[in-house]
Chains A and B, each alone.
Chain A
Amino acid sequence: MAETPSGKDKLLRYARVFVGGYNISGDFRTFGNFANSFEAADMGGVGEELVHYLSDGHRIVGISGFRCLMNDNTNRSMDLLDTADALTEVSVLFGGGGEPAIPDPCYFLPAAQMKAITSFDGGAGVVEADFLYDTLSYANAASNPAGVVLANADLTATADLGSHGVAALTTAGWHANLHVTATAAGNYAMIIEHGTDDAGWATLGTFVSTAGAVGSEYLTGTGTVNKFVRFAVTKTAGTATVIVAFARN
């Protein structure tokens, strides 16, 4: 059944940040911006009347000024972000009324970390990073980083998670980030499904990961995405904690 976002009409209280298979929300401090924009192209000429803008066709997507406390524990911010030019999945989930849930908004990238600057800010050690699209993934034209949360859940059994619906089907493909942040001998088939009526579901994509190891995965697809989407798992064994961020292009 289609879910209602917890973040609607609320101030943001619960941001969650996932890098690879790790939740570094506790270290996360501020960010500059989450870019998803075009520059205006020069129209030429000089006049006093207003002119319409043209896009330069160059879409800028990425996270800048992502700043974390310098936590050097294993798999925390400093440990994960101290080396630029690393490729990993990055997802930032926004929960307004509570812990981010289906289908709260999120911003995610198959990211290339472009810098790792360490400094002191008000006496606190911080590490600052920029993330841009991993260019290999960008070639798939999966370029919209603004999506929704399809899962933020502990997996213990076979389950169909809540669905998210938009006004109408889209036709320009889709992409998704999966983060497996914990596993206890987890073995799950994990798929994204789509459907026209929130009752009949077809597989849209299947993650390679079976939640047997902590880590992350980026998955893309082309063509039609029907009105409703959801995340579904089939259990073979164990338990796991997973996050799925999904966007239509």
Chain B
Amino acid sequence: MTAKIERYEVLILCRNDKTGKRFDVGGVVTSKDFKKAVINNWLEIGVLKPAPRERLNDGRDS
């Protein structure tokens, strides 16, 4: 079974040294971009917030 990829909205600029990726304010971070502990910490201190769910073509939430 494949783990569901979570999406988060970026509230404060963040970067990943290992991948060289930069995530600007208003962008999207997924659960594949950083370790779970890092994302949990950032949700707690306001660097990220859960992204609003998108509607899929078939009408379901993503």
A195 to B35, CA, bound (A): 11
The answer to whether A223 and B45 touch (CB under 8 A), given A197-B35, A197-B37, is yes
Cβ of A239 within 8 Å of any chain B Cβ, yes or no, is no
Which positions 23-48 of chain B face chain A at CB distance < 8 Å? Answer: 34-35, 37-38, 41-42, 44-45, 47
Tell me if B16 is interfacial: C-beta within 8 Å of chain A.
Answer: yes
Main secondary structure of the interface of B (DSSP, over half): mixed
Distance (Å) between the CB of A228 and the closest chain B CB?
11
Q: What is the size, in residues, of chain A's interface with B at 8 Å between Cβ atoms?
A: 16
How many residues of B are in contact with the other chain, CB < 8 A?
16
Q: Is the CB of B15 within 8 A of A226?
A: no
Contact indicator A199/B14 (Cβ below 8 Å): no
- Contact assessment for A203 and B13 in the assembled complex, using a CB-CB cutoff below 8 Å: yes
B38 touches A200 (CB 8 A): yes
Q: Taking the complex as formed, is B18 at the interface, i.e. its CB lies under 8 A from any CB of chain A?
A: yes
A71, chain B: closest CB distance, angstroms? 42
Task: Please name all residues of chain B whose beta carbon is closer than 8 Å to the beta carbon of A198 when the two chains form the complex.
Answer: 17
Taken together as a complex, chains A and B put the C-alpha atoms of A218 and B49 apart, in Å, by 29
12 inter-chain pairs at a CB distance below 8 angstroms, sorted by A residue, are: A169-B41, A196-B41, A197-B37, A197-B38, A200-B15, A200-B38, A201-B14, A202-B14, A202-B42, A202-B47, A203-B12, A223-B45
